[in-house]
């Protein structure tokens, strides 16, 4: 088995020496266990906080153990009556070519006609996150203005399109011209600005959101969020999904100015974690699966070939090098 373990906890930016590639012997399966050969591994921003020991909503990765991630794989050996050789399963597996698993928490998928990587993206966790945040927190109405940061990422691309389908004026930001063009031409955003070249985020928001902002789907945090916060309308909603610009900060940055704004404008700021809402997964699959099948929801992904490249690709994710859902094709 080839696997990648956490060699060291990062301080500030993640560096290559935080990871170590290892080759270990395949252990014999005990009763109840299965051997899953990894096909696709999802790389996600939440893995960065898990590399540290700071309090979060998921336990830290353990030092010298393989990192784990949402994955799709094939059962190649089974001593568990619930799984047969050839089953395609998804769930949390190791950053490895193979994972020995007890089968708990894995879900069998019938992948007929659907690319397996889609289960990690547009039909999986990031898309479910977007759907939950838009539908249950942002609740956009026709004619309202919705802002989405990291607009073309795995979550953002779906959030923006769902807000657009609800009839909102949708504005986003992304870290490169090509991404901004895709957001407008393919995903239907009304506008998307480049946060790396637009230094005055407030001024560009004033131009692109002349009616203010009714709902913010927040992926990035930091200075972009602060500018959005100041422009929220009365009864504005913020779906706090993530704050990727802050994940590598060694010291936390200050929050937005004038917190009394929350009272004055009767704002709702709600943080959420998608795994708390698994009971709604069926509803999500029906709704979003239908939109994907009918071509009404577009998606982009970046596929990296080979497990060995996972660390580098993950470091790139934290700098915006991915375009859409980032997955590693393992085998
Ligand atoms: P993405 O596919 O959006 O990839 C991350 C993107 O974030 C990068 O491509 C980059 O895009 C942008 N980014 C990185 N650093 C910065 C920065 N310093 N400033 C601005 N943008 C930056 O990832 P996901 O869609 O998977 O995740 C998006 C957010 O959603 C993350 O914050 C993540 O933690 C959160 N999340 C939360 C979940 C929940 O349950 N609450 C579940 C899943 C994700 P660009 O080129 O646009 O800069």
Segments making up each domain of the chain, as ranges? 2-120+300-329, 128-275
DSSP 134: I
Mean pLDDT of all residues in 80-98: 97
∠ CA 41-273-166, rounded to 5°: 95
Mean pLDDT of all residues in 223-232: 98
- pLDDT value at residue 56: 85
Closest approach atom of ligand 1 to CA 322: 9
Mean pLDDT of all residues in 184-194: 98
3-class secondary structure, 271:
strand
Give the model's confidence band at 91: pLDDT under 50 very low, under 70 low, under 90 confident, else very high: very high
Interval 266-303: pLDDT, tens: 999 999 999 999 999 999 999 999 999 999 999 999 99
Interval 94-153: pLDDT, tens: 999 999 999 999 999 987 788 999 999 999 999 999 999 999 999 999 999 999 999 999
Q: Helix 156-165 vs helix 125-132: angle between axes, to the nearest 10 degrees?
A: 40
What percent of the chain clears pLDDT 90, i.e. is strictly above it?
Answer: 94
- pLDDT value at residue 35: 98
CA 322 to ligand 1 centroid distance, Å = 10
Pocket of ligand 1 (CB under 6 A): 44-46, 126, 129, 150, 153-156, 174-176, 179, 195, 219-220, 241-245, 272-274, 317-318, 320, 322, 326
- pLDDT value at residue 251: 87
CA 301 to ligand 1 centroid distance, Å = 14
- pLDDT value at residue 229: 98
- pLDDT value at residue 331: 81
- pLDDT value at residue 250: 84
CA 58 to ligand 1 centroid distance, Å = 17
Distances (CA, A) of 218 to 15, 51, 223, 271: 26, 22, 12, 9
CA distance 152 to 157: 4
Q: Domain 128-275 is of which CATH architecture?
A: 3-Layer(aba) Sandwich (3.40)
DSSP β-ladder status, 68-78 and 34-42: antiparallel
CA distance 122 to 116: 11
CA 33 to ligand 1 centroid distance, Å = 35
Nearest residue CA, atom 44 of ligand 1?
126
Choose the residue to mutate in 228, 320, 324, 327 for probing ligand 1, maximizing ligand atoms within 8 Å of C-beta.
320
DSSP 317: H
Q: Which residue reads 């990648």 in tokens? A: 4
Q: pTM of the predicted model, to two decimals?
A: 0.97
DSSP 138: I
Q: Domain 2-120+300-329 is of which CATH architecture?
A: Alpha-Beta Complex (3.90)
- Residues making up the chain, counted from first to last: 331
Mean pLDDT of all residues in 250-278: 95
- pLDDT value at residue 38: 97
CA 295 to ligand 1 centroid distance, Å = 24
- Evaluate if residue 154 carries a pLDDT over 90: yes
- Provide ipTM, 2 decimals: 0.99
- pLDDT value at residue 123: 95
Q: Which residues lie below 8 Å from residue 306, measured CB to CB, with a gap of 6+?
A: 328, 329, 330
Return the H-helix or E-strand segment holding 290: helix 281-293
182, 176 Cβ separation under 8 angstroms: no
Q: Helix 222-230 vs helix 201-208: angle between axes, to the nearest 10 degrees?
A: 50
- Evaluate if residue 6 carries a pLDDT over 90: yes
DSSP β-ladder status, 213-218 and 232-240: parallel
């Amino acid at each position: 088995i080839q696997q990648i373990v956490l060699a060291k906890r990062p301080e500030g930016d993640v560096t290559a020496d935080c990871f170590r590639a290892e080759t270990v012997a395949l252990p014999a399966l005990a009763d109840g266990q299965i051997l899953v050969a990894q096909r696709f591994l999802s790389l996600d921003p939440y893995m960065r906080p898990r590399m540290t020991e700071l309090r979060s909503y998921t336990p830290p990765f353990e030092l010298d153990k393989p990192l784990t991630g949402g994955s799709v794989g094939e059962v190649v050996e089974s001593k568990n009556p619930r799984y047969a050789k050839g089953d395609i399963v998804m769930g949390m597996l190791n950053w490895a070519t193979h994972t020995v698993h007890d089968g708990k928490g894995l879900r069998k998928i019938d992948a007929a006609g659907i690319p397996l990587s889609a289960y990690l993206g547009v039909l999986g966790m990031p898309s479910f996150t977007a759907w939950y945040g838009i539908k249950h927190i942002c609740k956009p109405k026709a004619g309202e203005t919705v802002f989405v940061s990291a607009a073309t990422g795995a979550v953002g691309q779906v959030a923006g399109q769902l807000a657009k389908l609800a009839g909102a004026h949708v504005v986003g930001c992304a870290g490169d011209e090509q991404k901004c063009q895709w957001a407008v031409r393919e995903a239907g955003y009304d506008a998307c600005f480049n946060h790396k070249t637009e230094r005055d985020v407030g001024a560009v928001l004033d131009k692109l959101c002349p009616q203010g902002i009714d709902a913010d789907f927040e992926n990035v945090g930091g200075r972009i969020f602060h500018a959005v916060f100041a422009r929220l309308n009365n009864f504005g909603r913020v779906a706090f999904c993530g704050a990727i610009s802050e994940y590598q900060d060694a010291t936390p940055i200050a929050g937005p100015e004038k917190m009394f704004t929350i009272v004055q404008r009767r704002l709702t700021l709600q943080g959420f974690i998608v795994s708390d809402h698994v009971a709604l997964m069926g509803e999500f699959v029906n709704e979003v699966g239908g939109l994907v099948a009918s071509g009404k929801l577009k998606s982009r992904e970046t596929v990296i070939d080979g497990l060995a490249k996972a660390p580098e690709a993950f470091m790139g994710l934290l700098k915006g090098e991915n375009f859409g859902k980032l997955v590693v094709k393992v085998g």
